[in-house]
Chain A
């Protein structure tokens, strides 16, 4: 095990950095050490963002009986030498999009608050990138090792909603303003269940540090059943609550009210064009990636392998694989579901997610207290923990959806 942890592939990124750093004169080493980390995160997740957009467009296309973008390639270049006209499966689409966004005219409305209008896209990207600092991408790969990493993550993540309000307010457009109001309502409603869904993990792992949380999930029963938190009753409930809240926090369908296309044209983005628009787009995907990364870290075992036999695979590959699966899930949801209304959105949070998340905190406390139970008591522990989640879920869920049901229809005599 320790041999695998110290394998060359695991250490390769760090070795590379240290080698580059020691080439520089001593006074520059400290700063370049950190700069290299920042550049690596920016480059990896910048590219990841680019290919997420292609993946989203292609996957949505497939869900809708379309092909998605498949034309953009490199002229006179092919990854398959014997097939010159190969279009790279449209994989260079994001670069074409970037060129287009950069060359478009940047229009600022005459009545807009110019400073805020300019600052909003900058701020939103900045805050959404800050969240990446505390995600453990691999066994040795964490940009900043913070003791209160989770607190930091939520603070930075919710600040980006402020930028959406800035954008909506400064555009001096009624659609944008309505969208900004919606974004704030959504932020206040969903920040709470999002944080509460993670609290059980903090209780059981008794730490706020993301890398320690991942370490706590690194064991297997019989070498095949991983001890990820999602495979416990409270962890599963927390994961579902986290997923729903993450969808809402990142303004994804079915919670994409701030940019509801069919109602508010483009919401807070209505008065943005060119690269500023692209920045918002980028920030949205960064936010989505960061939240997925947090979900992977907290519930899905982070960089841990799913079974002991696969322990030799480099840990950052596991992290990326799980991240991609999470994002695919989000795209699938977007291709399927309808949008909620703003009052239903807040009601779902306050009447359903928050009570369940609070109960789930108690559930985790019960789990932590009964850690010594073994043998048949273990079954009792699982049953009680499951009941604490499932019974309120059924009761609250039934009461919330009361009165809504498919109907039968009569025919004229």
Chain B
């Protein structure tokens, strides 16, 4: 059985002979060719225009190659040719589910470059909106994950019902449901009314009820446990080496949350915990999202309690025509998907000389093959769903 695997090389393959670890159920010449299935770019569960070329032995994956770039929009080059402020709406389109936190990461980088300070109320608003975005993102993610697991849309629509309430609030605040374009260098764009804050507070107070309902329906489900536990394990050492961040990294048991590590914004003022997984499998990645939503609710209730009155914009801040001094800045936040960073290099001109995004979706995707090897094609879809990618951010 352990004789050197024959005849892989004789199988004509569009991406060459297999390399690295391959797993085959049976190693002999009687078990014919591998079946290559191209999943995507048009496929119901690749979450956008993403493509996986999978080599299958029966239903088992022996090689998987992620292909992306179908949504490349030249984001970084465009940003180098426009003013600092004009790039702000473009950042909405990176992770189109979480424009509020992407805005924040970009604003943070420019503020670092300008040496701009931010008033207290704006800091609180940023935390509030970023945590609401995290809840939106995570509830969407678990909904889509269950869709990949084969439910006929029920959990997804439950999640969307909740998400709708949040993005209604975003719309009433910023004018847009998803492309919020809300942060500015030195503060925020509009001040929420007391009614808005009260509505948001009520929504957050009621949100744990949805989580309880959701968990009662799904978390203990035996099929769910059997489909996700032990599937797509990610070794913590490999995860750290590959630069994986966010809930995917914490599910592998590595304590790394930039809200704690950097304490950017006012996160040092809030009392919250960072949940960690011990197995690094799909189930842990799912559960971490649920637990993080509960922590976000905690942060939000503290923020609504403590938010001060005052200006939302530093009165000395320039509204447009920013010309930072020559230099560089890298700012990062704990986005819902992982470490979202913006690197800016200024030559003193009105445009950034170099503009670079560190997208968590793309970097978390790099270990997809390793997580999928040896599992079935059905699992690969679930593993991809549990990594949580948004193609707008992967391809930029």
Chain A residues near B (Cβ < 8 Å):
60, 63-66, 174-175, 177-178, 182, 253-254, 256-257, 260-263, 265, 334-344, 401, 403-407, 409-413
* B277 and A254 contacting across the interface, CB-CB below 8 Å: no
Cβ distance A39 to chain B, nearest Cβ, rounded Å: 34
B-side contacts of A253, CB under 8 Å: 150-152
Determine whether B48 belongs to the interface, using a CB cutoff of 8 Å to chain A: no
* A406 and B225 contacting across the interface, CB-CB below 8 Å: yes
Partner of B376, one of A254, A343, A406: A343
Q: How far is the CA of A338 from the CA of B286 in the complex (A)?
A: 15
Cβ distance B221 to chain A, nearest Cβ, rounded Å: 7
* A411 and B154 contacting across the interface, CB-CB below 8 Å: no
Q: Could you mark each residue 236-275 of chain B with 1 if its beta carbon is under 8 Å from any beta carbon of chain A, else 0?
A: 0000000000000000000101001000000000000111
Q: Could you mark each residue 44-82 of chain B with 1 if its beta carbon is under 8 Å from any beta carbon of chain A, else 0?
A: 110000000000100100000000000000000000000
Q: Could you mark each residue 98-115 of chain B with 1 if its beta carbon is under 8 Å from any beta carbon of chain A, else 0?
A: 000000000000000000
Q: Which residue of chain B lies nearest to A413 when distances are taken between CB atoms in the complex?
A: B255
A-side contacts of B273, CB under 8 Å: 411-412
* A265 and B35 contacting across the interface, CB-CB below 8 Å: no
Partner of B378, one of A65, A334, A342, A404: A342
Partner of B158, one of A60, A65, A338: A65
* A260 and B275 contacting across the interface, CB-CB below 8 Å: no
B-side contacts of A411, CB under 8 Å: 273-276
With A65-B161, A66-B157, A410-B276 in contact, is A338–B225 under 8 Å at CB?
no
* B257 and A338 contacting across the interface, CB-CB below 8 Å: no
Of the stretches B88-96, B141-149, B310-318, B354-362, the one at the interface is B141-149
* B283 and A401 contacting across the interface, CB-CB below 8 Å: no
Determine whether B219 belongs to the interface, using a CB cutoff of 8 Å to chain A: yes
Q: Which residue of chain A lies nearest to B215 when distances are taken between CB atoms in the complex?
A: A406
* A178 and B59 contacting across the interface, CB-CB below 8 Å: yes
B-side contacts of A65, CB under 8 Å: 157-158, 161
Q: How far is the CA of A109 from the CA of B37 in the complex (A)?
A: 18
Cβ distance B168 to chain A, nearest Cβ, rounded Å: 15
* B154 and A63 contacting across the interface, CB-CB below 8 Å: yes
* B255 and A407 contacting across the interface, CB-CB below 8 Å: no
Tally A-B pairs: CB < 8 A.
128
A-side contacts of B178, CB under 8 Å: none
A-side contacts of B379, CB under 8 Å: 341
Q: How far is the CA of A128 from the CA of B227 in the complex (A)?
A: 32
* B222 and A260 contacting across the interface, CB-CB below 8 Å: no
Determine whether B220 belongs to the interface, using a CB cutoff of 8 Å to chain A: yes
* A256 and B44 contacting across the interface, CB-CB below 8 Å: no
* B45 and A338 contacting across the interface, CB-CB below 8 Å: no
Q: Which residue of chain A lies nearest to B255 when distances are taken between CB atoms in the complex?
A: A412
Q: How far is the CA of A401 from the CA of B224 in the complex (A)?
A: 12
Determine whether B278 belongs to the interface, using a CB cutoff of 8 Å to chain A: yes
A-side contacts of B277, CB under 8 Å: 409
A-side contacts of B278, CB under 8 Å: 407, 409-410
* B59 and A335 contacting across the interface, CB-CB below 8 Å: no
New contact pairs (8) apart from A64-B154, A338-B151, CB-CB < 8 Å: A64-B158, A260-B150, A261-B150, A262-B381, A340-B226, A409-B288, A410-B275, A412-B255
* B276 and A409 contacting across the interface, CB-CB below 8 Å: yes
Q: Which residue of chain A lies nearest to B253 when distances are taken between CB atoms in the complex?
A: A410
Q: Which residue of chain B lies nearest to A175 when distances are taken between CB atoms in the complex?
A: B37
* B257 and A336 contacting across the interface, CB-CB below 8 Å: no
Cβ distance B327 to chain A, nearest Cβ, rounded Å: 34
With A263-B381, A338-B146, A412-B273 in contact, is A60–B152 under 8 Å at CB?
yes
- In B197-214, the 8 Å CB interface with A consists of none
* B276 and A401 contacting across the interface, CB-CB below 8 Å: no
B-side contacts of A409, CB under 8 Å: 275-278, 287-288, 291
Cβ distance A263 to chain B, nearest Cβ, rounded Å: 5
Partner of B154, one of A254, A335, A403: A335
* A404 and B257 contacting across the interface, CB-CB below 8 Å: no
B-side contacts of A412, CB under 8 Å: 255, 257, 260, 273-276
Q: How far is the CA of A413 from the CA of B260 in the complex (A)?
A: 11
* A342 and B59 contacting across the interface, CB-CB below 8 Å: yes
* A64 and B276 contacting across the interface, CB-CB below 8 Å: no
Partner of B226, one of A63, A64, A404: A404
Cβ distance B222 to chain A, nearest Cβ, rounded Å: 6
Q: Which residue of chain A lies nearest to B37 when distances are taken between CB atoms in the complex?
A: A174
Cβ distance A62 to chain B, nearest Cβ, rounded Å: 11
A-side contacts of B291, CB under 8 Å: 409
Q: How far is the CA of A260 from the CA of B284 in the complex (A)?
A: 24
A-side contacts of B255, CB under 8 Å: 412-413
With A263-B377, A406-B219 in contact, is A336–B35 under 8 Å at CB?
no
B-side contacts of A265, CB under 8 Å: 43-44
Cβ distance B140 to chain A, nearest Cβ, rounded Å: 15
* A174 and B150 contacting across the interface, CB-CB below 8 Å: no
* A407 and B287 contacting across the interface, CB-CB below 8 Å: yes
Query: 20 interchain pairs (CB within 8 A)?
Result: A60-B154, A64-B154, A174-B35, A178-B59, A253-B151, A261-B44, A263-B45, A263-B381, A336-B151, A338-B150, A338-B223, A338-B224, A339-B223, A404-B225, A406-B219, A406-B225, A407-B283, A410-B276, A410-B278, A411-B274
B-side contacts of A407, CB under 8 Å: 278-279, 283-284, 287
Partner of B227, one of A64, A174, A178, A338: A338
A-side contacts of B146, CB under 8 Å: 338
Cβ distance B60 to chain A, nearest Cβ, rounded Å: 9
Q: Which residue of chain B lies nearest to A341 when distances are taken between CB atoms in the complex?
A: B378
- In B280-314, the 8 Å CB interface with A consists of 283-284, 287-288, 291
Q: How far is the CA of A73 from the CA of B87 in the complex (A)?
A: 50
Determine whether B22 belongs to the interface, using a CB cutoff of 8 Å to chain A: no
